[in-house]
């Protein structure tokens, strides 16, 4: 049997395979070039960038918990101009090699999201799509405050949709996912990334202090994988636009689980940080799984879960 087709279409973003990376765990892609040729991935999603640079939160920004990490990075980013100056040439080259470059967009308000999208439109021809992060748990305004309700989420996409023809993904908060997904679809979102990290707490019982610089942070890693699979399944049933599954993917089987639940593509997140060569390994395991399933197209397995 010849190699199966692994190419997928994530709401207009053409990916030569379903493996993507989770923003915030992948820098701007070039950080991984020492470990493997990044262009073998179907897509990468770059660190969320706002119109202006953000300094992020104070230390400590990370603590380890059972089967995961909590972070409070606070979307530290160089701004869209900084991204383009530092990494634009690399990202253009990556795009030229056939890897879709998805740029994540950050903001504290609708106006800030608009400003960032306009800058990407002007400065980032390499962006195959824009992922709107309305679900960061670690910023004082915007983020998951806007993304956790259908109205708040819809307001952002309503403002952005007329400003770009590029595919718009939305990084969703792990809250009211079905209602929010329907609202986003109605406003013209092209695809949904499900889910962002889950707001969580970790307390040092000896000092009685948070183990992060803020009381709460975002939990990610394999501990939340099965919550994410359930949410992908719910969203995929509720909307017609494609879903990018995100959450605790450490193996090809984890990625396959998302695809069976209805995801068109899958982002590798925390695994990139603890084992920097993991995304190509996960891709290779996923290809083996598709072959083992006896189909010649990975698309035949999207949503093929049977209860």
Partner 1 sequence: MPTPSAARIHEFEVVSNTPVAEGIWSLVMRAPKLAEGLSSGQFMSIAVPGDATQLVRVPLSFSKADPVKGTVETEYAVVGDGTRRLSLMRPGDTSDVLGPGGHGWRLESHPRRVLLVAGGIGITPIVSAARWLAREGVEFDAIVGTKTVNTLWGFDELMSVGVQHVVITSDDGTAGDQGFTTDALEPALAGGEYDLVLTCGPEVMMHKVADICAAVGVACEVSMERMMTCGFGACATCVVPTRSGNVGACMGGPVFDAKEVVW
Which residues contact partner 1 by CB under 8 A? 24-27, 30-35, 47, 53, 55-56, 59-64, 66-69, 71, 73, 76, 86-87, 89-90, 93, 221-222, 270, 272-277
Query: Minimum distance from CB of 50 to partner 1 (Å)?
Result: 14
Tell me whether residue 32 or residue 120 sits nearer to partner 1 (CB atom).
Answer: 32
Of 22 and 189, CB closest to partner 1 = 22
Residue 48 or 174 having the CB closest to partner 1: 48
- Residue number with CB closer to partner 1 (264 or 271): 271
Cβ of residue 225: shortest distance to partner 1, in angstroms? 13
Closest CA to 155 of 139, 142, 136: 142
Find the shortest distance in angstroms from Cβ 84 to partner 1: 13
Least Å distance, CB 52 to partner 1, is 13
Tell me which of 99, 103, 136, 144 is the catalytic residue: 136
Q: Is 136 a catalytic residue?
A: yes
Q: Which residues are catalytic?
A: 136
């Amino acid at each position: 049997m010849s190699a199966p087709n692994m190419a997928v279409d994530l709401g207009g973003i053409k990916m030569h395979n379903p493996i993507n990376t989770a923003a915030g765990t992948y820098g701007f892609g070039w950080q991984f070039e020492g470990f493997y040729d990044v262009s073998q991935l179907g897509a990468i999603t770059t660190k969320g960038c706002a119109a202006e640079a953000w300094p992020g939160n104070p230390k400590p920004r990370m603590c380890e918990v059972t089967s995961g990490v909590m972070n409070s990075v606070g979307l530290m980013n160089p701004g869209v101009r900084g991204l383009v100056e530092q990494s634009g040439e690399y990202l253009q080259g990556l795009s030229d090699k056939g890897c879709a470059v998805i740029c994540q967009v950050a903001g504290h308000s609708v106006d800030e999201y608009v400003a960032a999208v306009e800058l990407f439109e002007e400065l980032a021809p390499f962006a195959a799509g824009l992922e709107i992060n309305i679900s960061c748990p670690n910023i004082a305004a915007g983020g998951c405050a806007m993304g956790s309700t259908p109205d708040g989420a819809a307001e952002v996409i309503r403002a952005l949709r007329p400003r770009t023809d590029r595919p718009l993904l939305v990084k969703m908060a792990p809250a009211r996912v079905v209602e929010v997904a329907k609202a986003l679809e109605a406003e013209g979102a092209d695809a949904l990334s499900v889910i962002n990290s889950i707001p969580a707490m970790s307390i040092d019982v000896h000092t009685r202090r948070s183990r992060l610089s803020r009381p709460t942070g975002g939990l990610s890693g394999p501990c939340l994988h099965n919550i994410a699979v359930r949410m992908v399944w719910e969203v995929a049933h509720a909307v017609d636009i494609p879903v990018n599954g995100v959450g605790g993917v450490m193996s090809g089987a984890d990625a396959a689980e998302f695809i069976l639940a209805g995801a068109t593509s899958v982002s590798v997140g925390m695994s990139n940080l603890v084992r920097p060569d993991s995304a190509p390994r996960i891709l290779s395991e996923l290809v083996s799984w598709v072959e083992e399933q006896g189909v010649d197209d990975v698309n035949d397995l999207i949503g093929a879960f049977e209860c």
